Structure 1
Amino acid sequence: MYETTIHVVGNVVDVPRRSRTSNGTVTNFRMASTSRRWDEEVKGFVDGATLWIDVACWGELSGNVSRSISKGDPVLVVGNLATESWDSEAGRRSANRMKAIAVGLNLARGWSEFKRPARADPTSEVPAPHEADEDPFAGRSTDYIEGVETLDPSDSDVSEPVPALT
């Protein structure tokens, strides 16, 4: 079956709600994405139509989203789009819903600090703790740790500095 995968850039418009269901843990939030365009008459940007969409984040994504985003945050969401319909007192209703595959903060609008959770030992049945005082880099690569020598010069194919693209 074909899935309709979309990318939506917008803002979280309500407080993310995490709950447990018979199918697992889910975090739901609503987001809005408003198009903008340049208007020559007013010599500035004007807002266009707004897409309102409900987002559902399942499994491990659910916990990470509930810890990371809040109302008002600029986000990028990748997921599968579906239109759900139901009967209400006002008649037949429908809404766009998105099952998220990935959710990220929009770094064009601010900065963030990424924290990767510790992984469980595959031979252990007990999940790894997520303690604040635990060393988050224990047993992991140092590729992205500030101040740690990460690349051996002999590993690079580039022998001279390359100017940044402008």
Structure 2
Amino acid sequence: MSLGETYVTVLGWVGSDPDFKEVAQTPHATFRMGSTPRQFDRALGRYVDKPTTWFSVECWRGLAQNAFESVRIGQPVIVTGRLRTHEWTDDAGEQHSRVVLEAFSLGHDLTRGTTTFSKNPPKLDSLTPTPVPDPIEATASPYPADEYSVTSLPLTAQTAERDAA
């Protein structure tokens, strides 16, 4: 976390399907998100919508791939990230800017519905150690197989008596 940056959590609705591309071999996904606050109007006796705030949400790396595969237009989401202002000059020389929400975390808003989760498979590369197999499935021995014979240990008193006879 850096000083002077604005971190926010926004609840809203996905306004466009995610667009996926790789930037310098790094996965990147973007989509639009609208957040419309509601307020109770006593004069009308009901809730009324306030103006919608629109965000461009940017996701990077694994979050980008998961967002591209999981998020669809119209779905309710919760996004946590930092606000950035993207500024540029167009061909006519006019200055433009837009607020970008660089996401750290993204998920479906479960107050509005249900979802199903699937865990990503582990990534294997030179920096990641090889996954250790489950001890129940491990059959390795600390000694080479041809040097020592393997004898089963008696598991019950009846097994010991039967082997002794």
**Above 0.5 in TM-score?**
yes
Give the % identical residues: 30
Distance in 1 (CA, whole Å) between partners of 2:73 and 2:22 is 21
Distance in 2 (CA, whole Å) between partners of 1:15 and 1:94 is 22
Distance in 2 (CA, whole Å) between partners of 1:23 and 1:100 is 19
1:95 is aligned to: 98
Number of equivalent positions? 127
1:53 is aligned to: 55
Amino acid at match of 2:63: L
Q: Matched residue of 1:78: which SS?
A: strand
**Unmatched 5+ residue regions in structure 1?**
129-137, 140-166
* Offset from partner CA, 1:51-78 (integer Å, 9 cap, x none): 1100110001011111111111100000
Distance in 1 (CA, whole Å) between partners of 2:68 and 2:117 is 14
Q: Matched residue of 2:104: which SS?
A: strand
1:14 is aligned to: 16
2:113 is aligned to: 110
TM-score (norm 2): 0.71
| TM superposition outliers: structure 1 runs of 4+ over 4 Å | none
Question: Which of 69, 76, 79 in structure 2 is aligned with 1:77?
Answer: 79
Report the aligned-residue RMSD: 1.9
1:123 deviates by: 3.4
Q: Matched residue of 1:49: which SS?
A: coil
Are the structure 2 counterparts of residues 96 and 23 from structure 1 closer, same or farther at C-alpha, using a change threshold of 3 Å? farther
**Unmatched 5+ residue regions in structure 2?**
135-165
